[in-house]
Amino acid sequence: MGVEIKESAVPDAEFEEMKQFVSDYLAASVENEEDGGRMRWYPWHSAEYRFNHTLNVVELATDIARREGADLDVVRVAALFHDIAKLEAEQERHADEGARVAREYLTTRGDYPQSFVDQVTQSVREHSYQGSLDDVSLETQCLIEADILDKIGANGAVLMLLRMGYESRTHMDAGEMIDRVLERGRDAARRVESDAAESVAHQRLKRVKWFREWLEAEIPGIEARDQDADSGNTR
């Protein structure tokens, strides 16, 4: 008896259309603002960064889902829509708004099963959940883990260094900023549940630790400066 091959509910061509829709929606969210928007001077609050973050989360979530046996279509579509309302809604409302936009898109632009639409929108709605990942579906867990993981590692370090410039800090503050990424990475490693996500978290933590060591080796005085900051002393 042959193995049953399940056809994807979302063909690649339709997924590409979804990607374009999300990209255009984020761009329009910024263009429609009159006052420049919430913290728009930070690059990671721009439409370009938000879409790049979305694509990173899609890739991470899909990889985790594949390794953990979750529904790939639900996970990758939910990942694509998870932050679609991030630039137009308040932080505490963006997940609900994103779920609303996802439902409207999926019910008006395709012939997707109701159960599929419900699963996708549930994952989008719950992706900001701060409780135990045991409380959510496997698909939502994959999305939450991917969203967490994109903020750590080399990518997280680069974003934190960009923040230094916007806060008029000098390179001597780099150790302190990278330590924040390390702490975020440790928090992520403690929170994720799946073996796949734990593996990624530890790999990314290791990269940031190496970078921290390179900073200490190449910037004289940075370690002493960090110690003074920890003790509350100023120079």
Mean pLDDT of the chain: 85
Which residue intervals of 109-173 are DSSP H helices? 114-126, 138-149, 153-166
**pLDDT at 110 (0 to 100):** 85
pTM: 0.84
Model confidence pLDDT, tens digit, residues 126-173: 999 999 999 999 999 999 999 999 989 888 888 877 777 666 666 677
| Element of type H or E holding 209 | helix 195-218
Domain borders along the chain are 12-144, 153-231
Kindly give the interhelix angle for 195-218 and 174-191, rounded to the nearest 10 degrees.
170
- What spatial distance separates the first Cα and last Cα of the chain, rounded to whole Å? 76
The residue to which tokens 């899609």 are assigned? 58
For residue 161, give every residue at least 6 positions away whose Cβ sits within 8 Å of its Cβ, in sequence order, or none: 174, 177, 178
Percent of the chain scored above 70 by pLDDT? Answer: 80
Question: Looking at domain 12-144, which CATH architecture does it have?
Answer: Orthogonal Bundle (1.10)
